[in-house]
Structure 1
Amino acid sequence: MDIKKIGILGATGVVGHAAFQTILSRTNYPILLGGRNPEKLSELFTGTDGRLECQQVDVFNEEELHDFCGRVDLVINCAGPSKQIVDKVAVACLKHEVHYVDVSGDEHLYQQLLARKQEIEEKGLLFIISAGVYPGLSEVFPAYVAENDLDEIDLLEVFFAGQGGFSLNAAYDIVCSIEEDTGWGMSYFKQGEVKKIDGPFHRNYTFPNPAGKRDTYPVVTKEFGLMTKQHQIESAYFYNSYQSNAILNQFVMIKAMQQYKTEEQKRASAKLLLEQFEAKKPGVKDFTMFHLHATGKRDGKKVRVFSTLLYPSDWNRISGIIAATVAHLIAEDHNSKTGCFFVAEGVSATRLIDALREQQVELMHSITEMK
């Protein structure tokens, strides 16, 4: 694609800063950073090689947002809260015929953008959402295994573990997701359809280090379901885990007490979540991990795959790296598709994982023949 300049919104946060560092170190594209305080941006990003410009832009100010989008060829949106921004940045990108990568986004944004699918395609644009960790890498990782290790998959189990913190905006988005009841708990996908699990509420599972033994809870999303359909996976499960029971209890309390009815309640609940995530396990550094177990066929033989994807830092940094790497892949792909996609649909899982492995992401893998 003919990309001359990349814009990044929300660059003063951890996610946006990681996206900026990735674009700066791995590409030669000029970069335009947008933020409400351009002086702060300039202070944070001094010492670059002259490829950087900073511009004042509040994503809730339509004039400033459109001016920003009109100056670039691709926008990486790391601003938040995504539940308040919704499609504002995407619509501005569409008007100015600019490619779009959103580190956030969910099925609600996806449906909004699908209504503009024809216009996006007619303008030759590619819009990628959920280009972060979960959702995002949670679908890309199993798609990578499906593309490279198995010809057929009859059982897929993906487990997520991590330790890290959140920004207030990210915590706010989580509270909104609790209110919207995003995803399906106690469920799995069978031939692409959501089915209820007939069994225990949780599963105690031993991850590789540094995660160790954790209680895991089954929950699936639309993004995960589309990935299973794309790769014709017979049965697929996703298990989330929490770095402490206190965090799980806080989630349960917010939902049970409906502590999200007003804007004030949402902000208060977000602050409570922040406090819980700050209480980290002593002696364990931040990390982000996906562990996968799958059975299926390879070259006509029944095999079992165990695979672990580990990033030795928190999910905020890797989210920014993922979004920026997706943008880089789009920029370098001269035969790229057009339209609106979740990240696992919109870019090659193999190319994305291979690129992430060059950026401190570790992949541990074993394939054994089943008797």
Structure 2
Amino acid sequence: MDKKTIGILGATGYVGRAAVQTILSFTNHHLLLGGRNQEKLCKLFPMIESRADYLQVDIYNRELLYHFCGKCDIVVNCAGPSKQMLDRVASACIEQSVHYVDVSGDEHLYKQLMKRKQEIEEKELLFIISAGVYPGLSEIFPAYVAETYFDNIDLLELFFAGQGGFSLNAAYDIVCSIEEDTGLGMTYCKHGEAKKIDGPFHRNYSLPVPAGKRDTYPVLNEEFTQMAKRKKIKSAYFYNTYQNNSILNQFVMIKALEQYKTEEQKRASAKMLTEQFGEKKKETNDFTMLHLIATGNKNGKKLQLVSTFLYQNDWNTLSGIIAANVARLMVEGNRRKSGCFFVAEGVHVTKLIDRVGKQNIDLKHTLTELR
């Protein structure tokens, strides 16, 4: 396999650092690390001069951004806030004919890039967005389960639980998503379509240790809907979970009081969220968990699968690990086809779970035949 140059933007952040360490540990590819402070890059990653170069990049400076992207075979974008960057980095990669992985991204970026679908395909490029934890792993994991354990799934429930902090950039993106109504509350996916939940839903649920008892809230985004539709899952539910109602109430208050009308309000709300999660962080060790329950059929047998994906660290680090492994699969040729895709469609999910699973992941499955 030819040695490639993998560029990582936002390399000084928590997500970017994890992506850098993953590439260094599990590949021999060369790295080009980009950030606004070149001196900080050198201090964070000393003694790797043989594996990496450092380049000062401002994503709002077209010349610097295009220069960085032009030196890469693939760019992994870990910078933020994504709601301010929009498609700047992705567009630079299209112009420079470079493959692209975006840790963030959402349905809005996807729609923008699909306008350039023909150009991306003609240049034989692969663009993967929403390649973090949520969205990202929240679609990769159930897609992997569907491919590995079932011929078809009647019902799938996925619970996301975690303990960690938000950067101001990540919190800013969350506030913007609240403003844009990204994600449909009290909604599930039935036969590939979003449906409101009529009857009762889980108010409280006991997840495996260390998550424990959590308040749950059903929500549906475009990434999860597309995954469920492709895998022909009859009914699919995704639940975000909280240790208590205080964090959920914070989201509700931002929405109800429209605390996002101005740039100043957005930044104030983002700061409020980082402080809220910072308080929770002091109470327990960081972790990231996806807990899945699915019933369906395999070889004519009715089965129930209970699976837990547990990473004993925060979701920022795991997002970097996932994005880096997506890049690994792409440069190794383990890719579906050219074009722009959400992550669960753009790469082989079984191979991705295999690679991620070798990096301090506790993955447990209990399969039961139903009668």
Task: Give the TM-score category using the shorter length.
Answer: over 0.9
- Residue 25 of structure 1: aligned partner: 25
- Residue 307 of structure 1: aligned partner: 307
- Residue 84 of structure 2: aligned partner: 84
8 Å Cα contact 2:192-2:226 kept in structure 1: yes
In structure 2, distance between residues paired with 1:283 and 1:260: 29
Indicate whether 1:255 and 2:223 are aligned: no
- Residue 173 of structure 2: aligned partner: 173
Residue 71 of structure 1, CA deviation: 0.7
Q: Which 5+ residue runs of structure 1 have no aligned equivalent?
A: none
Residues 281/113 of structure 1: CA separation in 2 closer, same or farther (3 Å cut): closer
Q: Which 5+ residue runs of structure 2 have no aligned equivalent?
A: none
In structure 2, distance between residues paired with 1:234 and 1:202: 19
Residues 282/92 of structure 1: CA separation in 2 closer, same or farther (3 Å cut): closer
Q: How many residues align?
A: 371
Residue 51 of structure 1, CA deviation: 1.3
In structure 1, distance between residues paired with 2:201 and 2:234: 22
Residue identity in the other structure for 1:69: C
Residue identity in the other structure for 2:53: E
- Residue 4 of structure 2: aligned partner: 4
Residue identity in the other structure for 1:195: K
Note the alpha carbon deviations across 1:70-126, whole angstroms, 9 max, x for none. Answer: 111100000000000010000000000000000000000000001111100000100
Note the alpha carbon deviations across 1:318-352, whole angstroms, 9 max, x for none. Answer: 00000000000000016651000000000111011
- Residue 205 of structure 1: aligned partner: 205
Report the secondary structure of 2:280's partner residue.
Answer: coil
Report the secondary structure of 1:280's partner residue.
Answer: helix
- Residue 46 of structure 1: aligned partner: 46
In structure 2, distance between residues paired with 1:77 and 1:282: 29
TM-score normalised by structure 1 residue count: 0.98
Residue identity in the other structure for 1:30: H
Note the alpha carbon deviations across 1:5-51, whole angstroms, 9 max, x for none. Answer: 11000000000000000111111111111111101101111011511
Note the alpha carbon deviations across 1:175-205, whole angstroms, 9 max, x for none. Answer: 0000001011101111001110012465211
Report the secondary structure of 1:237's partner residue.
Answer: strand
8 Å Cα contact 1:10-1:77 kept in structure 2: yes
Residues 177/334 of structure 1: CA separation in 2 closer, same or farther (3 Å cut): closer
Residue identity in the other structure for 1:332: E
Residues 282/57 of structure 1: CA separation in 2 closer, same or farther (3 Å cut): closer
8 Å Cα contact 1:163-1:243 kept in structure 2: no
- Residue 233 of structure 2: aligned partner: 233
- Residue 369 of structure 1: aligned partner: 369
Residue identity in the other structure for 1:68: F
8 Å Cα contact 1:162-1:243 kept in structure 2: no
In structure 1, distance between residues paired with 2:196 and 2:44: 48
Residue identity in the other structure for 2:222: K
In structure 2, distance between residues paired with 1:278 and 1:6: 32
In structure 1, distance between residues paired with 2:275 and 2:166: 10
Where in structure 2 are the equivalents of 1:1-371 lying within 5 Å? 4-48=4-48, 50-200=50-200, 202-280=202-280, 284-333=284-333, 336-371=336-371
Residue identity in the other structure for 1:141: F
In structure 2, distance between residues paired with 1:282 and 1:127: 37
Report the secondary structure of 2:127's partner residue.
Answer: strand
In structure 2, distance between residues paired with 1:95 and 1:334: 24
In structure 2, distance between residues paired with 1:281 and 1:39: 30
Root-mean-square deviation (CA, aligned residues, Å) is 1.3
Residues 67/358 of structure 1: CA separation in 2 closer, same or farther (3 Å cut): same
Residue identity in the other structure for 2:365: H
In structure 2, distance between residues paired with 1:136 and 1:93: 21
Identity between Structure 1 and Structure 2 (%): 68
Residue 247 of structure 1, CA deviation: 1.2
8 Å Cα contact 2:5-2:32 kept in structure 1: yes
Residues 281/324 of structure 1: CA separation in 2 closer, same or farther (3 Å cut): closer
In structure 1, distance between residues paired with 2:349 and 2:142: 9
Note the alpha carbon deviations across 1:163-183, whole angstroms, 9 max, x for none. Answer: 000110000000000000101
In structure 1, distance between residues paired with 2:2 and 2:125: 11
8 Å Cα contact 2:8-2:78 kept in structure 1: yes
In structure 2, distance between residues paired with 1:112 and 1:366: 41
Residues 334/15 of structure 1: CA separation in 2 closer, same or farther (3 Å cut): closer
Residue identity in the other structure for 1:155: L
In structure 2, distance between residues paired with 1:202 and 1:26: 40
